[in-house]
Amino acid sequence: MPSPLGHALGGIALGWLIAPRLGRGAAVAGVTYAAIGIAPDLDLLVGSHSTYTHSVGAVGLVFLVALAASRRPRVAVAIAAAWASHLALDWLGSDTSPPIGIMALWPFTREHYQSSFYVFDAVSRRYWLPDQFVWGNLRAAAKEVLILGPLAAVSYWIMKRRN
């Protein structure tokens, strides 16, 4: 599953395409979308990784909260899309920690799903294994930047052309 860097780039790429400014400028919007792209992994703090926050139920809830807070459907869609980008990238990533995959379709089912075609490498949290933790994660992050960086750049370019 991608690193926070990859998730940030994914959130930015989608968010900027849908609602570039959030009423405060592109940079604030980009930082917001990056944070939202990373946010589903906060479930690591409560020991329930890749479950509820990695689901269509969470995307729907995020949309409703964003809509209530902003009262702007386009902004709510952009924020929900940035969150949903996390699910898509995790689904496309190699996962080496059980349960494998994400609980993508909760609340309809608690099954975990993972693509059989891996685009992104697994990110290791095993800090006591320097080869995996340092070099493996650097290689994974570089791959994410090579794949998602151009998408975020294209999104930025499209946003700038609109203005």
Site string (62-91) toward Zn ion, x via CB under 5 A: ----------------------------x-
Of 12, 41, 80, 141, the one binding Zn ion by CB under 5 A: 41
Q: Residues binding Zn ion: what is the number (CB under 5 A)? A: 2
Give the shortest CB-49-to-Zn ion separation in angstroms: 7
Compute CA distances 135 → 88, 102, 129, 139, whole Å.
25, 25, 10, 6
Under the binding rule (CB under 5 A), the answer on residue 121 touching Zn ion is: no
Give the shortest CB-89-to-Zn ion separation in angstroms: 8
Give the shortest CB-69-to-Zn ion separation in angstroms: 23
- Name which of 41 and 121 has its Cβ closer to Zn ion: 41
CB 90 within 8 A of CB 102: yes
Give the shortest CB-25-to-Zn ion separation in angstroms: 28
Give the shortest CB-68-to-Zn ion separation in angstroms: 25
- Name which of 63 and 91 has its Cβ closer to Zn ion: 91
Compute CA distances 57 → 50, 54, 130, 145, 157, whole Å.
13, 8, 37, 28, 32
Q: 3-class secondary structure for 49-66?
A: CCCHHHCHHHHHHHHHHH
- Name which of 1 and 22 has its Cβ closer to Zn ion: 1
**CB-count burial class (<10 Å; 0-12, 13-18, 19+) for 133:** middle
Site string (88-107) toward Zn ion, x via CB under 5 A: --x-----------------
**N- to C-terminal Cα distance for the chain?**
35
Nearest to 92 by CA among 132, 139, 43, 147: 147
Chain contacts with Zn ion (rule: CB under 5 A)? 41, 90
